[in-house]
Amino acid sequence: MTQRELCNRWQVSEATLERWRSEGIGPIYVKLGGQVRYRREDVLEYEASCLRRSTFEAV
């Protein structure tokens, strides 16, 4: 998945995703030939880790 595809999926800007990467936030990624790619299974795993029942309780 490209950076743009993930941005569209999450409705965030590419700058936000780039900042999150530099801060270690978000799914792991692969950098090949200067291009960032996300594996679908890593995105799904990260999304699952973000699930919450309330503001203080993770699923």
Domain total of the chain: 1
Q: Over the stretch 10-25, which tens digit does the pLDDT of each residue have?
A: 999 999 999 999 999 9
Region at 11 (left for phi over 0; alpha for psi -120 to 50; beta for the rest):
left
| pTM attached to this predicted model | 0.85
Query: What range defines the domain where residue 24 resides?
Result: 3-49
- Within a domain: residue 13? yes
- Within a domain: residue 18? yes
- Within a domain: residue 55? no
Contacts 24+ apart (CB under 8 A), 2-6: 2/35, 2/36, 2/37, 2/38, 3/36, 3/38, 6/38, 6/43
Please measure the distance between the N-terminal and C-terminal CA atoms of the chain and give it in whole angstroms.
Answer: 26
Mean pLDDT of 36-46: 97
- Within a domain: residue 54? no
